[in-house]
């Protein structure tokens, strides 16, 4: 079960809602079966992550769509060590995150705000959503990447990873 969850988190989540994701998952499951690796057939892969922490019913109550893909993507966004980029054409993710983190002091900044880099540097203990949109210039993108690199270096991480005690979300809304 841990192998199946790791495959989803590491490889399959990047493909989004497409036939390729389903085909790759089926190939992995067939290969595990061929090699005699026993896995739970009745359990969703994300339930293996931390069953006491992964609470899809709570997520849906906070405004997440209740379909399987939304729940899988939420598990990846919330439990991956990497900073997730949430592409959100309908603008639902920010409302969901605001409700989910309502008691944790969630902050929302736009990538073009003058203080976005200082906001990133203060995101060690509170969740932060950085809004991005079609109006971003190359300069804003470079500043954002520089701020994220600095944040990761300060936390002792070589890549764009979130500090374990915080959550940092990049939110791209096309609506």
Residue 165 and residue 125 in contact, taking contact as beta carbons nearer than 8 Å: yes
Q: Which of 97, 43, 40 is nearest to 70 (CA)?
A: 97
Please give the order of strands across the beta sheet that includes 128-132: 85-87, 168-172, 128-132, 107-110
Q: Report the pLDDT value the prediction gives residue 96, as an integer from 0 to 100.
A: 92
- C-alpha 48/C-alpha 40 separation (Å) is 10
Using the structure block, give the residue that is written with the tokens 């509170």. Answer: 126
Q: Report the pLDDT value the prediction gives residue 115, as an integer from 0 to 100.
A: 80
* Predicted structure pTM score: 0.63
Average pLDDT of span 33-43: 78
DSSP E strands: which ranges in the chain? 85-87, 107-110, 128-132, 168-172
Dump pLDDT digits (tens) for 65-76. Answer: 988 788 878 887
């Amino acid at each position: 079960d841990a192998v199946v969850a790791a495959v989803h988190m590491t490889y399959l989540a990047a493909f989004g809602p497409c036939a390729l994701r389903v085909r790759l998952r089926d190939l992995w499951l067939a290969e595990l079966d061929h090699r005699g690796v026993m896995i739970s057939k009745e359990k969703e892969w994300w339930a293996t992550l931390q069953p006491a922490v992964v609470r899809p019913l709570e997520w849906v109550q906070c405004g997440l769509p209740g379909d399987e893909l939304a729940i899988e993507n939420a598990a990846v966004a919330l439990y991956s060590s990497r900073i997730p980029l949430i592409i959100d054409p309908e603008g639902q993710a920010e409302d969901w995150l605001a409700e989910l983190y309502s008691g944790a002091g969630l902050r929302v900044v736009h990538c073009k705000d003058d203080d976005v880099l200082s906001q990133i540097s203060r995101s060690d203990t509170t969740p932060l959503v950085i809004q991005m949109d079609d109006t971003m210039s190359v300069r804003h993108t470079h500043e954002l990447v520089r701020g994220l690199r600095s944040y990761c270096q300060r936390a002792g991480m070589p890549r764009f990873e979130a500090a374990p005690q915080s959550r940092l979300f990049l939110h791209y809304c096309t609506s």
